[in-house]
Amino acid sequence: MDKIKETLHQLFDDFQNFEDKGQKATYIPELAHIDEDLFGVSLSCLDGMQISLGDATTPFSLQSISKVLSLVLAYNILGEDLWKRVDVEPSGDTFNSLILLELEMGIPRNPFINAGAIVVADILISHLKNPEEVFLKFIQELAQDTSIQYDLNIFHSEKSVAYRNYSLINLMKSFGNIHNDIDKVMDLYFMMCSVSITCQQLSKAFLFFANDGTHPLTQQQILIPSRNRRINAIMQLCGFYDEAGEFAYRVGLPGKSGVGGGIIAIHPGLYAVTVFSPKLNKKGNSTKGMAFLERLTSELNNSIF
């Protein structure tokens, strides 16, 4: 533990001089207002110890990291039948690509590309009376923090320009893979992406992925161990879109990114770590976040491989 703490502090200092060639996301207008120099890190261990540095208590937009938690809810509702609606293969494409969806008859490659997460939102609407409330409560319980909320400015901002996401859902609807009203599904999808969260809250919320599906701080079983392993596997293979190979190669942990600048990574049996830095590379992943996690697993000499 001391080694992890020491390494994090050392790296955090080193990264003050990181030359960041990335650019923050601007396709969602509201995201363009973030201070691009923010930089936060939080690592939570199974015993509840948390090491937080920099802007670890500054909220940022959860965006695609929400796709992991909506998947957990849908997987627990449908079990293995879920995979009739969405596959578990890496896409090798951008997160909002339409290309494979047409070729593969409206079945998204995996639940972490936008199309897959939209199908997951459709499933939640079919099975839950108030999915918006269930999702928010779920994340609040995982983080043990009721101050986590949706950000309606981000919600409306994304919705106002979401032409591509609407084309994805229309295409899937035409293939019969969306069962509910398109606007209702999209609103839930945008809402889940809009959650405002800090590094500290997020590393705590994702801790159960490092502990066979049981939250180590509440002892609540969130996923049975086999499902937990499977979601970790999907994070490893699909969590960074067409950069999933690069993340596995350089960092060697299952994880998930979001265009808000956050990255969560899991070391099964050890920790969950969040890095937040808004400048993204061309694939939509935080440049500094990826570089930091690469250094972390290199210095600790400890990835899952």
Query: What does the binding site for ligand DON look like in residue numbers (CB under 6 A)?
Result: 63-64, 95-96, 114, 158, 165, 193, 257-259, 284-285
Cα gap 17→12, rounded to integer Å: 10
* Shortest distance, position 51 Cβ to ligand DON, whole Å: 25
Based on the number of CB atoms within 10 Å of its own CB, is 90 exposed (0-12), middle (13-18) or buried (19 or more)? buried
Cα gap 175→71, rounded to integer Å: 21
Whose Cβ is closer to ligand DON: residue 198's or residue 257's?
Answer: 257
Whose Cβ is closer to ligand DON: residue 229's or residue 283's?
Answer: 283
Whose Cβ is closer to ligand DON: residue 63's or residue 110's?
Answer: 63
Whose Cβ is closer to ligand DON: residue 240's or residue 270's?
Answer: 240
Whose Cβ is closer to ligand DON: residue 40's or residue 213's?
Answer: 40
CA atoms within 13 A on the CB side of 129: 0
* Shortest distance, position 58 Cβ to ligand DON, whole Å: 18
* Shortest distance, position 281 Cβ to ligand DON, whole Å: 10
* Shortest distance, position 247 Cβ to ligand DON, whole Å: 11
Q: Name the residue with the smallest CB distance to ligand DON.
A: 64
* Shortest distance, position 10 Cβ to ligand DON, whole Å: 28
Whose Cβ is closer to ligand DON: residue 4's or residue 192's?
Answer: 192
* Shortest distance, position 226 Cβ to ligand DON, whole Å: 27
